A and B are shown apart, each in its own frame.
Chain A
Amino acid sequence: MNVRDSVDRALGPVAPDAGCESAAVNFAQYADGAVAGEDVSRAFPHVANHLAACPDCNQDYEGLVNCVRELAVSSEDTPPPPEH
């Protein structure tokens, strides 16, 4: 990585940004859309920009998408049937 890239990385992307809290409100919808192959960065540009700028939210979001993708649908995904 050259100096320009290092500096640009430290200075973050130049884009409107949702902020941590507003981005987090949309994480689940964003993750479901991404896993379904939707163009979520177009639908939620402020969230996409935030993920590019905020290392903690980005790491959490990656974990969520991985979890949705890789945890196979199982009986744990449904609540127990009512007992009466």
Chain B
Amino acid sequence: MDETLKLSPGAVAHLGWLRESSRLCLPGEAGTGRIGAIETPALASEQPAGGASHVAPALDANSRAWLAALRASGPDKDGALRKLHALLLRAARHEAYRRRPSLPDPVARDLDDLALQAADDALLSITGKLDDFRGDSRFTTWAYMFAIVEVSSKLRRHAWRGRRLNFDEEQWSRLPDRLAGPDDQAEGRELLRALRDAIATQLSARQREVFIAVALNGVPIDVLAERMDSTRGALYKVLHDARRRLRACLEEQGLGRPQLKETQ
């Protein structure tokens, strides 16, 4: 890290946090195997994520200039780092304020601090991953993404801080009452009863916990990952597998989604 770069207090500590226990899925980590999605046959990630073959286009002049400046040394690099930090801060603040209406008051009051922390963390991440930039997007878009992922995760965790995530059995076993309105027909109630029973009998304890929190109660995966000491990618895989089991179970009972079949 360049010593002349002024980061806010705690940035170096954040670097350690990011590298050692990142629960985010930042680009460039795909090959590390730390996040579980890649090796799962249940997900389609053994194939290239793009369906079409994509050849990275020639790098645009601005992206080339960014890379050159960030790989330089001395004052050129310092200037580039300062400017990149400003760009990341602008993106993080933009995203934080865009989501302000949906945030609880205590979080909304901290937006500037959270954005600054996100920009610091994003800068440290980017400088460590410059070689991962493949040139298939503008450099600034690639950089923005780090700022957005960082600020987004901080906003979620802040918003859910202190909230209980234990959804007890009594709560979700009343699924038919919760989701079915008074006008819903017997068919809808039958579907909900089947889903409730499938949740109880077809899922592992971990799958049940993740499915109930994320799919039924809207807990962000990042928040759950933090509480369960896991990662977004790993918990998404658990959710994906749980959903597949439940869909299969409902299909066996003739309650599958009409006219849709799993294609994988």
A residues sitting closer than 8 Å to B (CB atoms) are 2-4, 6-8, 10-12, 14-29, 31-32, 42-47, 49, 53-57, 59-60, 63-64, 66-68, 70-71, 76-80, 82-84
- Minimum CB–CB distance from B196 to chain A (whole Å) comes to 11
Contact of A7 among B38, B191, B220, B221 (CB under 8 A): B191
Interface membership of B113, Cβ < 8 A: no
- Minimum CB–CB distance from B155 to chain A (whole Å) comes to 9
Tell me if B37 and A22 are in contact (CB < 8 A). yes
Interface membership of B15, Cβ < 8 A: no
Q: A19-B44, A42-B52 are in contact. List 10 more A-B contacts (CB 8 A).
A: A3-B180, A7-B250, A11-B247, A14-B247, A16-B264, A17-B43, A21-B45, A24-B26, A78-B66, A79-B70
Tell me if B95 and A79 are in contact (CB < 8 A). no
B residues sitting closer than 8 Å to A (CB atoms) are 25-30, 35, 37-38, 40, 43-45, 47, 49-52, 54, 62, 65-66, 68-70, 72, 75-76, 79-80, 83-84, 86-87, 90-91, 94-95, 98-99, 136-138, 140-142, 144-145, 147-149, 151-152, 156, 179-180, 184, 187-189, 191-192, 195, 211, 214-216, 218, 220-222, 232-233, 236-237, 239-240, 243, 246-247, 250, 257, 260-264
Tell me if A14 and B136 are in contact (CB < 8 A). no
Contacts of B180 in A (CB 8 A): 3
- Minimum CB–CB distance from A50 to chain B (whole Å) comes to 8
A79 to B142, CA, bound (A): 15
- What 6 A-B pairs have minimum CB-CB distances, sorted nearest first? A19-B37, A3-B188, A16-B44, A28-B137, A79-B69, A20-B233
A60 to B142, CA, bound (A): 13
- Determine the residue in chain B with the shortest Cβ distance to A79: B69
- Determine the residue in chain A with the shortest Cβ distance to B150: A60
